[in-house]
Structures are given as C-alpha cells and as structure tokens.
Amino acid sequence: MDSFLFGLIAGSFVSIGAYSVLIGDNPLSKFTEHLYTGILGGYIFATNWDYIRSNCVNNIAQGQIIYVVALALSLMLLSRLKPEWVWMSRYPVALTVGVGLGLAIRTTVMAEFLSQITATVLPLTNINNLVMVIGTVTATAYFIFRTEMKGAYEYVHKTGRVFLLAAFGVTYGQTVSFRFELVIGRLVDMLRPEVIWYTALMLVLVAAGLAYGYRTGKIKWYSGR
C-alpha cells in the first residue's frame, strides 16, 4: 500500500470518528479530537523551530549577532510553560502586538477608510449604485443612537435595518454553503473508488461499536433534539 492511499484511508477513518460527534459525544470523537490537536501542535512546533534554525540560528552562526535578540525573544515565549515565568513571555507578546498594530494602522486609514468612502460616492445612474449608496448611508445611520425616532429619521432607521437584515441573510447563506463545502471536501476523498470500501467498512465498524456502547450503557446516549 503506498503512502498516498494509506493517507486517504487514515483520513477517512479520522473523518468518520470526528463526524460521529453528530450522533453524540463519544470516545471515538474525543480520540480524533485529541489526535488532531496533538499532531497539529507537534507539527506547528517543529515547523516553527525549523524556521528559527534556518533563518535565525544560522545567521548567528554566520556572525550576524543582532539575531540573538530575535532568538532570545522567541525563547522567552516558551516561558509560558511554567506559571512562575509567565511574566517573561509578556515582553515578546507586547512587542509583537505593538509592531503588528503599528504596521496595520500605517495603511488602514487609506485602505479601510478613505478608499471605501470614495468607492461609495457613486453617480446615481443605475440601480446597483442607488442600492449601494442608500444601503451604505442608511445602514450607517442605523448606528446613530438617539432617544427619539421621529420624522424622516424613523424611515432612514427602518431602511437601514432592512439592509442590515439582508446583509445578515447573505452572510448566513454563504456560511451554510461554506460548511457544505467543508463536508464535500472530505466526502470527495472518502468516496474515491479506491477508498470507498474502506470507508464503508469503517462506517459499519464505528456504527457497531457505538451501538454496542449505547446498548450496554458504556456510552451515554445523547437524547437532545
């Protein structure tokens, strides 16, 4: 069996384990969760260490002493593992947050504010532009809080709410579609002709195992809706 096929079969098994949580919390779903967390944690640590080794430790070895500062800050992050040393990790975290914030703010005014306002100033020559302008103005006006909703403002407020609800509906629909795509992505691999029989066998095994667990009371049956 080549490693690719083994990967597909292992992936199918882990996916069935993870999806078994839909029937109710059970030891198999917990096992797959812990397996994923452990593997991902180890992989992230190893990849980051490889990055530090090739781009920091190697530079120090070549005489670029300034990288000692970066290495020291990286190691200080690991002090979170011991509660008494947590204070040390706050310095690199503060530096990271500060630098990140500074770099983001540098262009945020132009990218997220001025450009967006400019893009909303449109000629009212077609229905799309009209919807864009009215939607932006009324939805923004919806968040102007005042005590009385009287006169023209009441209609602006209500129109803004309609636009916001429409936007929430679109976001909800897109989110549902995204979740389908996640499942479909797994199903495509699980239902490949070379894997489908392994998937079916594992489904039967998992179903039998869970049925045994529920019948004997070793796994608690989730009776919610």
**Could you list the residues that contact another protein (CB under 8 A)?**
22-23, 40, 43-44, 47-48, 51, 54-55, 58-59, 96, 99-100, 103-104, 106-108, 110-112, 115-116, 118-120, 132, 167, 170-171, 174-178, 180-189, 191, 224-225
To another protein, the closest distance from the beta carbon of 2 in angstroms equals 15
Q: Smaller CB distance to another protein: residue 115 or 140?
A: 115
Q: Smaller CB distance to another protein: residue 4 or 145?
A: 4
To another protein, the closest distance from the beta carbon of 22 in angstroms equals 5
To another protein, the closest distance from the beta carbon of 58 in angstroms equals 7
Which pair of tokens denotes residue 88? 């040390």
DSSP 124-180: TTSHHHHHHHHHHHHHHHHT---S---THHHHHHHHHHHHHHHHHHHHHHHHHHHHH
Write the single-letter amino acid at 172: Y
To another protein, the closest distance from the beta carbon of 192 in angstroms equals 9
To another protein, the closest distance from the beta carbon of 216 in angstroms equals 20
Q: Smaller CB distance to another protein: residue 148 or 181?
A: 181
Q: Smaller CB distance to another protein: residue 125 or 177?
A: 177
Q: Smaller CB distance to another protein: residue 103 or 141?
A: 103
To another protein, the closest distance from the beta carbon of 152 in angstroms equals 27
Q: Smaller CB distance to another protein: residue 59 or 159?
A: 59
Residue 154 makes CB contacts below 8 A (sequence gap 6+) with: none
